[in-house]
Chains A and B, each alone.
Chain A
């Protein structure tokens, strides 16, 4: 037997706890955020006049006094915007016209009414006070119930109703299941409206170039870049005359900066009108009233169950409140979980009735967990109520219904293909980490002492890498058929080696703090066998020069399942080129060349190794010496899309996401009946993140999602009064958790790599945003023996529950 010559393996980086590459610059104040940029000479500044009314007709706008103020360049109002642009498209059939500024009517407090462009922000702000607007107040429509009433005043007169979308779906034998049920458990749930509160607010610097009729817009925009197409069409230019540039650093987003695009349009039009570049940095008051939030939702659940806890079927009735307009990508909030409506359970039959309503509140959009927190609040509260009604152990009911490890990939009735998982083992791991028996004993001891203690549990499937087709499920089949089918979820990455062999990777992901540069460097270092620190990762996106796709951006946790694979594939293209050159130089087959330690090493003969930088130099300086047919230079782009993401089928089934993680949360808490204060005693969260790319970053993502979920559970709500006035317009009234309010979190893992992607990694940052609100609600329900739980569980609300 002939021994094969020893191979030189590159150092493993994927899966290593590499500290963030991004941090030194950020921690020394050397980050480059939107407000640090000064890309255009003679940039002027915008201030936005906003509606004080929730619902009113604009009778007149008189800008005369503002325009004569020294330093004021222009005032842009809705009438003019409607002349020079198109409304933004959204994925529903009803004609809800949405412009980036109020046209004829204002429909929420904070809606832009006029934009002043002036020499500086001070003058612009002063000029706002000189604009005279006459309004005629109209009946405000604030709550979902009012929007559903036939006699509520339609926000959009041309639609004629505040119900702007309605669809029903049936999967499996729902009626038969309900006929066979031994019990039918029904409950209604309300989920509140809350937001993300990144430290950095929205920012836009836009320049309209008259000579070429082109727009260049710098903005801390997170994608999805399908909105580039939408924005270009609203601005009435072809895509190649709209250049979006995302700065190197973005100070957090959590979904909210996707909805920056209306302001990108507005400031771009302000530049066109004023003839100068225009900069606008949103202030905190603007952000809290007029950026974006998730939907508030009314859900009615009927569960057909057997007495042993088996769930035969669900009927879900959703009313999602999108606020004043349907802004793309809405109605995605309602449909992101659609294929995964049965969550982690093997429930064979499902009926869904979806309605979307408009009200005089801030329009909605992406928010960490997007649709998941609303969905699981209803589903996981229902699971707890089912156990309670049937006098069964909650764990027995969960175990009985969880998808079993041998059933993966599991085809959920509404279309999601749950790729991998071991839910029962993850549950057991969570019980182990929680010390469940001891937890029960602690709870019972506390109760014996007269305290109200409760245990909460939630099991959630965490989708990541949303498909580009799932939103089209909102359209009826015949309408879907009229346009091209939409499938997949692609990302693009370019890797270049310059003549000195220096490596630059260019991403289209527009990260906002997730650490993409770090993981990208890990993957490229491993694939090319080079030093980690030698790799430069450029995260700033320029739609004119970066590789990107409609799915590009950082949302729906798509870096790990999709972009990371594109990085790997681009690196493999580069590796193949380098190995091919080396194979010719060494006169060996390409398969015998290994890349490691910065060298191309022929198998079994280290002495002939060639430095990678020399190979790169050859590709640039001596193209005639390259293998025949090979292009000069080293510049490789890879596009990757997940094959499993098919377009919705004729039965309205859709696999909405590339891969599906899993989260089990267990919580023990105490309720102080005197003050209504909740004290979390123990919180355990076990995750399935597939193949973990970097444990440090994964932990950071989990802790961030946990904090956001805790805010939704206990503190955060956008409160409007009966007239639609926003009452939670500052951080005094809109509370967010700070380090002091966040209890210790015990994290565990039962990871099952996805079989559907080459890396097998799954998103991880949104799971706890979905699971924490309902876990805490279940614990409070257990502590107080009540079912009717409304979030956020503020001390006042909890105290009221104790008084029942």
Chain B
């Protein structure tokens, strides 16, 4: 499953870059995320409640930030596993200044699922992924605006 999108956010690229590496902010913005833990060396673990159609459940997720380009972006490697199946892939985030104190964020994901979630939910997966991405960036936008 691949997808991409972009959103314009308030704030300088450097500011947004740091916010995107803030575990507390991530926990608040990633939909269904709880128990976000910083494991050091830009590795994180979390419990994520997620579901597609009739398949719902908790995933144990591991994140790691790679390909770090300060103020320009990074790649987030994701690996999750739980009752509904497994999820693995990466999200690449790129930042570019679009105007003073405005940043264009572009994201691209390449995520695979396996197990029950793929067997039952694959036809709904694209729509679900888009929804999760939209929720995340909406919350991020709100968080940044509130700062």
Interface residues of A (CB under 8 A from B): 50-54, 109, 128-129, 132-133, 135, 137, 285, 288-289, 721, 723-730, 732-733
Query: A728 vs B119: C-alpha distance in the bound complex, in angstroms?
Result: 6
A114 to chain B, nearest CB (A): 13
Assembled-state Cα–Cα distance A285/B60 (Å): 23
Partner of A128, one of B81, B83, B113, B122: B83
The 6 A-B pairs with the shortest beta carbon distances in the complex, nearest first, are A729-B119, A52-B115, A725-B114, A52-B86, A725-B118, A52-B85
What separation, in Å, do the CA atoms of A732 and B88 have in the docked complex?
Answer: 25
Pair B119/A724 contact, Cβ less than 8 Å:
no
**Besides A285-B120, A721-B112, A726-B118, 7 other CB < 8 A contacts?**
A52-B117, A54-B114, A109-B114, A128-B83, A285-B119, A289-B119, A725-B113
Does chain A have a CB within 8 A of B3?
no
Q: Which of B73-127 contact A (CB under 8 A)?
A: 81, 83, 85-86, 88, 112-120, 122-123
Q: Which residues of B contact A54 (CB under 8 A)?
A: 114
**CB-CB < 8 A to A721: which residues of B?**
112, 118
Known A-B contacts A52-B81, A137-B88; the reply to A729 vs B113 at CB < 8 A is no
> What residues of B have a CB within 8 angstroms of the CB of A723 in the complex?
112, 114
Chain A: CB-nearest residue to B60: A132
B120 near A725: Cβ-Cβ < 8 Å: no
- Give B49-79 interface residues, CB cut-off 8 Å to A: 57-58, 60
Scoring B57, B88, B115 by chain A CB atoms within 10 A of each residue's CB, the highest score goes to B115
Contact among B57, B60, B86, B119 for A726, CB-based, below 8 A: B119
Indicate if the CB atoms of B119 and A288 lie closer than 8 Å.
Answer: yes
Which chain A residues lie closer than 8 Å to B83 at the CB level?
Answer: 128-129
Contact sample, A vs B, 5 pairs, CB 8 Å cutoff? A52-B81, A52-B85, A135-B86, A725-B113, A729-B118
Question: How far apart are the CA atoms of A50 and B83 in the complex, in Å?
Answer: 9
State in angstroms the CA–CA spacing of A166 and B130 once bound together: 47
A128 CB to nearest chain B CB (Å): 7
Question: Are B119 and A730 in contact, with the CB atoms below 8 A?
Answer: yes
Which residue of chain A lies nearest to B79 when distances are taken between CB atoms in the complex?
A: A137
- Knowing A128-B83, A129-B83, say if A725 contacts B112 (CB, 8 Å): yes
Q: Are B116 and A729 in contact (CB under 8 A)?
A: yes
- In the complex, chain B residues whose CB is within 8 Å of the CB of A132: 60
Min CB–CB distance A134 → chain B (angstroms) = 9
Give the distance in Å from the alpha carbon of A733 to the alpha carbon of B118 in the complex: 11
- The chain B residue sitting closest to A726, CB to CB, is B119
Chain A min CB distance to B42 (Å): 21
B116 in contact with A53 (CB, 8 Å): no
The smallest beta-carbon distance between B114 and chain A, in angstroms, is 4
CA separation between A51 and B85, bound complex, in Å?
Answer: 8
Contacts A52-B81, A727-B122 given; indicate if A109 touches B115 (C-beta within 8 A). Answer: yes
CB–CB B81/A129 < 8 A: no
Residue in contact with B123 in the complex, picked from A52, A129, A732, CB distance below 8 Å: A732
Q: Which of B57, B83, B112 has the largest count of A CB atoms less than 10 A from its CB? A: B83
> How far, in Å, is A372 (CB) from chain B's closest CB?
29
Nearest residue (CB) in B for A732 is B123
- Give the nearest-CB partner of B84 in chain A: A52
Given contacts A52-B81, A52-B86, A53-B86, contact A733 B122 (CB under 8 A): yes
Tell me which of B116, B117, B118 has the highest count of chain A C-beta atoms within 10 A of its own C-beta.
Answer: B118
Known: A52-B86, A53-B86, A109-B114. A135 touches B81 (CB 8 A): yes
**Complex contacts, B85 vs chain A, CB 8 Å:** 52
User: A288–B85 Cα gap in the complex (Å)?
Assistant: 16
Identify the closest chain A residue to B119 (Cβ).
A729
Given contacts A128-B83, A129-B83, contact A51 B120 (CB under 8 A): no
Contacts of A51 in B (CB 8 A): 115
The smallest C-beta distance from B118 to any residue of chain A, in angstroms, reads: 4
Q: State whether A52 touches B120 (Cβ < 8 A).
A: no
The CA-CA distance from A128 to B57 in the complex, in Å, is: 12
| Nearest residue, chain A, Cβ from B113 | A725
Inter-chain CA distance A109–B116, complex, in Å, is 9
- A726 CB contacts on chain B under 8 angstroms: 118-119
CB distance from B107 to the nearest CB of A (A): 22
- Which residues of chain B are near A135, meaning CB under 8 Å? 81, 86
Query: What's the Cα separation between A726 and B58 when bound, in Å?
Result: 20
Contacts of A285 in B (CB 8 A): 116, 119-120
Contact A724 B114 (CB under 8 A): yes
Cα-based distance from A726 to B122 in the complex (angstroms)? 10
> Digit string of B113-147 for contact with A (CB within 8 Å is 1, else 0)?
11111111011000000000000000000000000
How far is B119's CA from A51's CA once the two chains are assembled, in angstroms?
Answer: 12
Within 8 A of A (CB), among B4-21: none
Give A743 to B58 CA distance when docked, in angstroms: 46
B57 engages A727 (CB within 8 Å): no
Please indicate the chain B residues that have their CB under 8 angstroms from the CB of A53 in the complex: 86, 114-115
A723 to B79 Cα, complex, angstroms: 14
Query: In this complex, what residue of A is CB-closest to B117?
Result: A52
Q: Which of A285, A728, A729 has the most CB of B within 10 A?
A: A729
Once bound together, how far apart are the Cα atoms of A729 and B55, in whole Å? 12
A508 to B144, CA, bound (A): 74
Within 8 Å CB of B118, what residues of A?
Answer: 109, 721, 725-727, 729
Report A-chain residues with C-beta under 8 Å of the C-beta of B113: 725
Residues of A within 8 A of B122 (CB): 725, 727, 733
User: Is the Cβ of A733 less than 8 Å from the Cβ of B123?
Assistant: yes
A50 to B81, CA, bound (A): 12
Residues of chain A within 8 A (CB-CB) of B57 are: 129
A288 to B83, CA, bound (A): 18
Distance to closest chain B CB from A475 (angstroms): 36
Q: How far is the CA of A725 from the CA of B125 in the complex (A)?
A: 14
Known: A52-B85, A135-B81. A729 touches B120 (CB 8 A): yes
- A726, B57: Cα distance in complex, Å: 19
Bound-state Cα–Cα, A493 to B113, Å: 51
Closest to B87 in A: A52
Q: Determine if B112 and A52 form an interchain contact, defined as CB atoms under 8 angstroms apart.
A: no
B84 to chain A, nearest CB (A): 8
Complex alpha-carbon distance, A129 and B83, angstroms: 6
Of A52, A732, A733, the contact of B116 (CB 8 Å cutoff): A52
Cα(A782)–Cα(B89), bound, Å: 44
Q: Which of A52, A135, A723, A725 has the most CB of B within 10 A?
A: A52
Taken together as a complex, chains A and B put the C-alpha atoms of A135 and B118 apart, in Å, by 18
Chain A contacts of B119 at CB under 8 A? 109, 285, 288-289, 725-730
* Across-interface contacts of B116 in A (CB, < 8 A): 52, 285, 729
Q: Which residues of A contact B115 (CB under 8 A)?
A: 50-53, 109, 725
Shortest Cβ distance from residue A286 to the other chain B in the assembled complex, whole angstroms = 10
Cα separation A51 to B112 with both chains bound (whole Å): 15
- Closest Cβ–Cβ distance, residue B52 to chain A (whole Å): 12
Q: How far, in whole Å, are A50 and B113 apart by their CA atoms in the complex? A: 15
Cα distance A725–B115 when bound, in Å? 6
Contact A730 B81 (CB under 8 A): no
CA distance A726 to B113 in the complex (A): 10
B37 to chain A, nearest CB (A): 16
Give Cα distance in the complex from A129 to B81, angstroms.
11
Which residue of A has the minimal Cβ distance to B85? A52
B123 partner residues in chain A, CB cutoff 8 A: 732-733
Min Cβ gap B56→A in Å is 11
What is the minimal beta-carbon distance from B95 to any residue of chain A, in angstroms?
Answer: 30
A288 to B116, CA, bound (A): 11
Distance in Å: Cβ of B79 to nearest Cβ of chain A: 8
Chain A residues within 8 Å of B60, by CB: 132
Complex CA–CA separation, A68 to B86 (angstroms):
25
Taking the closest CB of chain B, its distance from the CB of A684, in whole angstroms, is 37
B124 CB to closest chain A CB (Å) equals: 10
For the complex, give the distance between the alpha carbons of A132 and B58 in Å.
12
> Smallest Cβ distance from B136 to chain A, in angstroms?
24
Report chain A residues within 8 Å CB of B81: 52, 133, 135
Q: CA A725 – CA B112 in complex, angstroms? A: 9
Chain A residue contacts of B120, Cβ below 8 A: 285, 729-730
In the bound complex, what is the Cα–Cα distance between A37 and B29 (angstroms)? 52
Question: Given the complex of chains A and B, what is the CA–CA distance between A135 and B88 in angstroms?
Answer: 12
A50: chain B residues within 8 A (beta carbon): 115
